[in-house]
Amino acid sequence: MLLSYCSSLQKDILSNTSGWFIRKETSFHIMSVAEREEVLCVLNAAWDRMKQGLDVHLIPNDRCFMVYALLKAMNFEDVAGIRKGMPKDGTGSGPVVNIVFNADHFLTRTILTAMRFHSAIRCVACFRCSEKIVEIMKKMMFDIHYVQEDIHSQDKSILDFGVASCCSMGEVPDIIVTPGEGKKEEIVRLFGENPDDVVTSLFKISARINNNIS
């Protein structure tokens, strides 16, 4: 069943890729179609699972997103994500073709930066932040770091300097909170080794929210 599903997913999403390739400055690496296919399948399964149990209090006004990187990801094309994200009603983004590589530069920068410090951390999701949500996460003993308001990343940069300021070699926090800018709301970014880990953590937070937020 999984092989059949992945084969279908490959036809929908990978039909225009060669399966070999990606250059970043003078560095080269080769990624097989099979590895890219696996990343898409795992991300899609986790996204479907998340739609079933994510508390709506965690969904930002700009929608909830998640990305998952290839094992040796180096640039935007190496990171798969949810193109449209999950709206406030929690219905998700529709057809699986919305799961693509190079889908969301904000979270793609986030995970590429985190992987510079800890290569096993390959997945990140963003969700809404509030004082109550942060209080709940602190009680759950998550390692929480905050991006300083005066640290900004350039649009064309592959790195997120705010994320980098929260990490150290071999250490990436569980959660990074980013302050809102202008009309943008404060956002939480939750890290994990894979989408299943991230969704499991989100469900644990959701369960606490159900007991604490009316």
Return phi, psi of residue 67, to 5°. -130, 155
| Whole-angstrom distance, CA of residue 58 vs CA of residue 201 | 12
Instruction: Please determine, for residue 191, whether its predicted confidence score (pLDDT) is greater than 80.
Output: yes
First to last CA, the chain: 40
Instruction: Please determine, for residue 26, whether its predicted confidence score (pLDDT) is greater than 50.
Output: no
- Tell me if 193 sits within 8 A of 114, measured CB to CB: no
- Tell me if 211 sits within 8 A of 142, measured CB to CB: no
**Tens of pLDDT, residues 107-118:** 899 999 999 999
Average pLDDT score over residue span 178-199: 82
- Tell me if 190 sits within 8 A of 125, measured CB to CB: yes
Tokens of 138: 């602190």
The CA-based angle 130-80-69, given to 5 degrees, is 85
The domains found in the chain, sorted by start residue, are 42-212 (3.40.225.10)
- Tell me if 64 sits within 8 A of 90, measured CB to CB: no
Would you say the C-alpha torsion 163, 165, 171, 174 has a positive or negative sign? negative
- Categorize the per-residue pLDDT at 62 as very low, low, confident or very high, splitting at 50, 70 and 90: low
- Tell me if 75 sits within 8 A of 112, measured CB to CB: yes
pLDDT confidence of residue 130: 81
Percent of the chain with pLDDT over 70: 64
Strand-pair partners of 168: 171
Tokens of 175: 């959660």
More confident residue, 17 or 92: 92
The CA-based angle 177-181-151, given to 5 degrees, is 65
- Give Cα separations from 159 to 74, 97, 104, 209 (angstroms): 10, 27, 14, 32
Average pLDDT score over residue span 198-203: 91
Instruction: Please determine, for residue 5, whether its predicted confidence score (pLDDT) is greater than 60.
Output: no
Instruction: Please determine, for residue 49, whether its predicted confidence score (pLDDT) is greater than 90.
Output: no
Instruction: Please determine, for residue 9, whether its predicted confidence score (pLDDT) is greater than 50.
Output: no
- Amino acid 161 reads F
